[in-house]
Amino acid sequence: MSATPSVPAPKPPREFSPAFFGTVCSLPFFLLMLFGFVAPLLCVVWFGFMPAKTFALLQMPTFANYETIFNQTYFKSILWSIGLATVTVLTLLVICYPLAFGMAKIFRGGASFITYAIATSLFVSENIRLFGWVIGFMKNGVVGGTLAKVFDVQIDSLLYNIPVIILGMVYVYLPFMLFPLVLGLKMVPDQVREAAFDLGASRWQVFKKIDLPLSMPGVLIGSLLVFVLSVGAISEAKILGGQKVVTIASDIESEFTYAQNWPLGSALSTLFIALTTVVVFFALGRFDLEKLLGKKRSE
Amino acid sequence: MVESAAPILEVVSITNRFAKFTAVNDVSFAVREGEFFTLVGPSGSGKTTLLRMLVGMEKPTTGELRLRGKVINDLPPNLRPTCMVFQSLALFPHMTVGKNVEFPLSIRGQSSGECRTRAWELLKLLHLDPHRYYDKNVSQCSGGERQRVALARALAYDPEILFFDEPLSAIDARLRKVLQKELKDLQRSTGKTFCYVTHSLEEAMVMSDRVAILRAGVIEQIGTPDEIYGAPRNAFVAEFMGEVNLLPITGLGGTAATWDTGRKVIPLTLPAPLAAGTARKLLIRPESLRFLRAGESAGNSVPVRILNEFSLGSRIQYHVEVASDCTLTVQRLREERTAATEAVLGWELADSQILET
């Protein structure tokens, strides 16, 4: 009986599963999100529970800051922010929907021209564009000066009121509404519209029953984008509005800078983030994107 | 019955011209009441443009469209009593099957109860169980089910003519055959006029009462499937019908001609006289060709080499070589199978036709 020498099994070649590979590849992004987003966010939330006007994180947590917020008139700034953002979203919907419809379905070469023209305006810093408006609207500025010189009409400064703030916000956030709307409308298949028209629907009925419901994903995404951006807007109200309106974002800024009250600023930020999140999730839950796109498979 | 019916749609020398390109060139034909009419042509033949003009989505550059004698050139699709089933079906993705079918009814302002009753009837007519399908989302339906939904929706419009833009082209061959038969049955049972567009002459032959063959914006031939099969007007129509043998021939005066295979010139006898020097195509169907036994004779005979044999079920198809780079297709019944590699191929004069190129 001869013993066969046992041959050690060859080591299997090292294999990377797609899951492992994916994990490794997403690691940089994961770390960036962890240290750049999650950690600071948690810091802010935690800082909100520190005693007012202190700068240390290791103290006994307290609700004092939130009491301050509810006892004072910060709710006014929050309402202003939400109000301005809502008006901006609604105004932009009215302005952008027809334009987006044209760009997606009617204009041919013109659509890319409009896209480039609007995208180019994004190359200039927002603050510079807003100061441009200031030069235009201030007393004896471009508008007032021209009117005085040409028509001999004296007008006061057009700045520092609520309509001009909304004008500025509408102007700054227009691309964020327009492009999602164009994409949303482009997703409405032409043959589906033609079929509705062929089945007896008038142009208006085609719009109401086909275009509008099928472009809702674009409407929803554009509105959320503009709402989230404009609710945290600060420059429009500051530069164009002077101190006429104080938004929550400028309240937070002044707590962190002028007042040197970081815990109160943090508490305001936390409250504001929570509020925005609730609004966004409410909107997302209300309009089921998948259902709107007809892609939901319930079985 | 169909032959004597009055025309429901008359197309009078209709032309559609884009900047320089003429998609449809001076086309005239009439669709008769209650018939299954099919426009067939290869891609780029202008059949889609022609159809889009018939339903009103495109306007003819010149010419007239008459529906029951009334000119409808400028009537938009939503005001025409005709309706189309699209190639993509164009179902409304945000509506259930039921709401899709009810769409044309609700547009007309019918009450939801009436809409529902009619939708149930139509779903039943198209073999879709309303209990299961009425509330189903269209995206959950299979290809064949979607076809039926599109058809039910078009029927709900109650059109005088129902147009089809190759709706079956994306369906697998077996289901397509089933749906073709169902479509034909549906046309018979509803008595509606169907006008179908396809690139497949085979599909056209199966379903249609009459077929119009379109090439480069011009109608080559209109007729019943039998007429077209029996007497194709030219080589294009014959070739379009599927596997046929078209031999390039040159007349020698009388019924004598030569067949130039490229390598070899073969003398042939024609079924009809042809002037000397005229070039024509000689059509011989694969089933008209047969292998001659020793001592047997036929109108024409050529020695061939058998290259390949394919089984088509009850029939066998052979590819035979007459000269290098010149092959013919032969179809015989399975009982007449041959194992030889060299043979003499023959056909009767009456089984061949001289066609213009």
With tokens 């937070």, the residue in question is A252
| Partner-chain contact A199 B94, CB within 8 Å | no
What superfamily in CATH does domain B7-233 come from?
A: P-loop containing nucleotide triphosphate hydrolases (3.40.50.300)
* Shortest Cα distance, chain A CAs vs residue B170, angstroms: 16
Cβ–Cβ < 8 Å for B60, B82: no
CA-based nearest residue in chain A for residue B57:
A194
Residues of chain B positioned with their CB less than 8 A from the CB of A191 = 86-88, 90
A61-114 confidence digits (pLDDT tens): 888 888 888 888 888 888 889 999 999 999 999 999 999 999 998 887 788 888
d(CA B58, CA B73): 9
| Partner-chain contact A199 B153, CB within 8 Å | yes
The domains located in chain A, with CATH, are 73-260 (1.10.3720.10)
CA-based nearest residue in chain B for residue A205:
B107
| Partner-chain contact B88 A294, CB within 8 Å | no
| Partner-chain contact A198 B92, CB within 8 Å | no
Q: Residue A82 to residues A76, A79, A134, A226, A239: CA-CA distances in angstroms?
A: 10, 5, 24, 12, 19
* Shortest Cα distance, chain B CAs vs residue A110, angstroms: 20
List chain B pLDDT tens, one digit each, 357 residues: 445 568 899 999 999 988 888 889 889 999 999 999 999 998 888 888 999 999 999 889 999 999 998 899 889 999 999 999 998 899 999 899 999 999 999 998 888 899 999 999 999 998 899 899 999 999 889 888 999 999 999 999 999 999 999 888 878 888 888 889 999 999 999 899 999 999 888 888 889 999 999 998 899 999 999 998 888 888 888 888 778 899 999 999 888 899 988 888 899 999 988 888 889 999 999 989 999 888 888 888 899 999 988 988 888 999 999 888 888 999 988 888 888 888 899 999 888 999 987
Q: Which of A199, A293, A298 sits opposite B107 (nearest CB)?
A: A199
pLDDT at A299: 33
Residues of chain A positioned with their CB less than 8 A from the CB of B84 = 195, 198
Q: Which three-class secondary structure state does DSSP give residue A155?
A: coil
pLDDT at A95: 95
And the tokens for A192? 């589906």
pLDDT at B2: 45
Q: Which of B90, B93, B103 sits opposite A194 (nearest CB)?
A: B90
- Residue extent(s) of CATH 3.40.50.300 domains in chain B: 7-233
Three-class SS of B110-134: CCHHHHHHHHHHHHHHCCCCHHHHC
Cβ–Cβ < 8 Å for B354, B285: no
* Shortest Cα distance, chain B CAs vs residue A278, angstroms: 27
Closest of B84, B100, B82 to residue B166, by C-alpha: B84
| Partner-chain contact A194 B57, CB within 8 Å | yes
Cβ–Cβ < 8 Å for A87, A227: no
| Partner-chain contact B92 A192, CB within 8 Å | yes
| Partner-chain contact B139 A194, CB within 8 Å | no
d(CA B186, CA A199): 20
* Shortest Cα distance, chain B CAs vs residue A203, angstroms: 9
Question: Which residues are within 8 A (CB) of B324 and not within 5 positions of it... i.e. 6 or more apart?
Answer: B263
Q: For residue A121, what is the enclosing H or E element?
A: helix A109-121
